[in-house]
Amino acid sequence: MKLVFIIGLGGGMGSMLRYLVQAFVSRHMPIAFPWGTFLINCSGCFLIGVLYALSAKYAWMTVEWRMLLITGLCGGYTTFSSYSYESIILFKQGAYSYFLLYTLLSVVLGLLATVGGAAIFK
């Protein structure tokens, strides 16, 4: 039960952070492209790469810290469901170029961000 609480704590923090970033980006970027979710997911992928590399390299990253930061915080911060929903909305609106751009860039840049984040501490 201790790990469940730790994950919940991290997930709550990640969800609140996602909301704040989404609200900030929505105020400053055009609505036609889902910039908020895109930036959140790419930065979350980078962060998870950094955290996994740190956990592999340093002993201070205990199971509890990994659950708090990786499973909880990053899991609450990033959002595959919003990405999927926004992709479908773009497609239904006939914004096919945005749909393709969002889908491809999210996957490719997400993977590259994870690899890049991990590479920093290897």
CB contact at 8 A, 69 and 58: no
Each domain of the chain, given as residue ranges in start order, spans: 2-120
Report the distance separating Cα 4 and Cα 28, nearest Å. 36
pLDDT per residue as tens digits for the range 4-44: 999 999 999 999 999 999 999 988 987 788 999 999 999 99
Closest CA to 113 of 60, 29, 50: 50
pLDDT per residue as tens digits for the range 39-88: 999 999 999 999 999 988 888 889 999 999 999 999 999 999 999 999 99
| Predicted TM-score (pTM) of this structure | 0.89
